[in-house]
Amino acid sequence: MTEPLGVYLHMPYCPYKCHYCDFNAYRLPPRPGVLAEMAEGIAEEVRRAGGEDRGREVGSIYFGGGTPSLFPPDRIAALIDLVRRRYEVRRGAEVTLECNPGTVDLASLRALRRAGVTRLSLGAQSFSQETLRRLGRGHSPDDTRRVVRLAREAGFHRLNIDVIYGLPESTREEARADAEEALALRPDHLSAYALELEDGTYFGVLVRRGQLALPSDAEVVASGEAVAAACHEAGLERYEISNFARPGQRSRHNLLYWHQGDYRGFGPGAHSHFAGRRFWNVDGPGPYLRSVAVQGEAVAGEEVLSPAGRRGEWVYLHLRLIDGFTLAAFHRRFGLSLDEAYPGVRRQLERQGLLEHRPGRVQPSPSGRWLLHRVAEPFLP
């Protein structure tokens, strides 16, 4: 029953902060040794942090950020090595690194490949120079194309490309054109995210002031569907709201999240889920490093859900998957049937057209996918 563990390493620095970003990411301070210090801190946490997770079998490692590709490949190699010492990393484990075009060259890509990275996730975001400029990205569409070429040359076969749609004043045609440009690079995986406005970001402020207009929800939905259609034509199947992959190339690490699986996060603000408990590290690099130096870990908070809370969360997460989940899987996991746990809810959602009528399976309808929070709501405590 134990699915292999996932390991997440959060590399919090970026060369610049994008206009839409509210992630736990920080502009790289112009001070020598910052990256080394951080890499050392994370290494320290991997070495010393307590927990019963030691020795578990690991199926995926994921370097997220920030911009992990800012870190020298030997630091990445050292971290992978430490993860191997702490855990039992499976042969053929998926090792992903998020990489921004413009931060790597052939030599560094080769070094990353040698270090054991098997999969690159490229933050392309858009293939329009104008859009990239407006997003505050520091690279061009050609940088993205070049890095794909170099990655292949360096031996990476598994490539994900990230794109964003639903940008201010954008249309479904633009979203589709962008996706087609990305697909022309023949990635085996594509993540297409609708822009989310967050308070405190540059975009958030502009929209609130009325200086920037977002497309209507209907246009955003149409844009997402246009991206999905382009992916389908290119042979990438949608398996989660925002994720598309060639057969067999789904992101094992991300699937863990949707399966309510176990993962262990290291680095500032990293989240872990282990043995029914969710916990997370302090966000800021400074406090994180100080805490790790003293205690060997930097846990800031935790959450243990009630049984009903866990059930609701499991359903909510699985509903993000295009195939949803089977009634049998729910029963296996919780020892009671969905109808016992939530009497009448499934039928009601089917009647509202939010769930497909499929025997034995709970699966969001095409419109239900976009209204997932409505679909999930009745399952929450």
Partner 1 sequence: MGDRTDLRNFCIIAHIDHGKSTLADRLLEATGTLQAREMHDQVLDSMDLERERGITIKAQAVRLEYATQDERFVLNLIDTPGHVDFSYEVSRSLAACEGALLVIDAAQGVEAQTLANLYLALEHDLEIIPVINKIDLPQADPERVRQELLQIGLDPEQAIEASAKDGTGVADILEAVVERVPPPGGDSEAPLKALIFDSHFDAYRGVVCHIRVVDGRIRSGQRIRLMATDAAYEVTDLGVFRPQPTPVEALSAGEVGYFAAGIKVVRDARVGDTVTTAERGAAEPLAGYRPAVPMVFAGLYPSEPSHYDLLREALERLQLNDGALSFEPETSGALGFGFRCGFLGLLHLEIVQERLEREYDIDLVVTAPSVVYTVHYLDGRVERIENPAALEMGRGVDRIEEPYVAATLITPTSFVGPVMELCQERRGIFRTIEYPSPERAVLSYELPLGEIMYDFFDQLKSRTRGYASLDYQLAGEREGDLVRVDLLLNGEMVDALSFIVHEGRAQSQGRAVCEKLREVIPRQLFDVPIQAAVGGKVLARETIRALRKDVLAKCYGGDITRKRKLLEKQKEGKKRMRRLGQVEVPQEAFMAVLRRGD
Judged by the rule CB under 8 A, the positions of this chain that interact with partner 1 are: 8, 10, 23-24, 64, 193-196, 216-218, 220-221, 241-242, 257-258, 263, 265, 269-273, 278, 280, 303, 312-313, 316-317, 320, 352, 354, 369-374, 376-377, 380-381
Output 250 or 369, the one with its CB closest to partner 1: 369
Output 109 or 165, the one with its CB closest to partner 1: 165
- Nearest-approach distance from CB 152 to partner 1, in angstroms: 26
- Nearest-approach distance from CB 367 to partner 1, in angstroms: 8
Q: How far is CA 146 from CA 110, 139, 142, 364, in A?
A: 15, 11, 6, 38
Largest alpha-carbon pair distance within the chain? 61
Output 140 or 283, the one with its CB closest to partner 1: 283
Output 50 or 353, the one with its CB closest to partner 1: 353
Output 26 or 370, the one with its CB closest to partner 1: 370
Output 229 or 372, the one with its CB closest to partner 1: 372
Output 90 or 277, the one with its CB closest to partner 1: 277
Q: 320 Cβ partners below 8 Å, 6+ apart?
A: 240, 241, 258, 372
- Nearest-approach distance from CB 80 to partner 1, in angstroms: 18
| Percentages (nearest 5) of helix, strand, coil residues in the chain | 45, 25, 35
Question: Three-state SS across 250-269?
Answer: CCHHHHHHHCCCCEEEECCC
- Nearest-approach distance from CB 4 to partner 1, in angstroms: 15
b/e per residue 255-275 (b: at least 16 CB within 10 A): bbbbbbbbbbbbbbbbbbbbe
Q: 187 Cβ partners below 8 Å, 6+ apart?
A: 122, 148, 159, 160, 161, 236
The answer to whether the beta carbons of residues 62 and 11 sit under 8 Å apart is no
Token output for 13: 């620095």
- Nearest-approach distance from CB 6 to partner 1, in angstroms: 8
Which residue shows structure tokens 């603000």?
Answer: 269
Alpha-carbon distance 238 to 286, whole Å?
Answer: 39
- Nearest-approach distance from CB 96 to partner 1, in angstroms: 12
- Nearest-approach distance from CB 32 to partner 1, in angstroms: 27
Output 40 or 219, the one with its CB closest to partner 1: 219
Output 21 or 177, the one with its CB closest to partner 1: 21
- Nearest-approach distance from CB 62 to partner 1, in angstroms: 9
Q: 205 Cβ partners below 8 Å, 6+ apart?
A: none
Alpha-carbon distance 174 to 223, whole Å?
Answer: 8
- Nearest-approach distance from CB 311 to partner 1, in angstroms: 12
Q: Verify cis geometry, omega within 30 degrees of 0, for the bond prior to 353.
A: no
Which residue shows structure tokens 């009634």?
Answer: 327
Alpha-carbon distance 263 to 251, whole Å?
Answer: 14
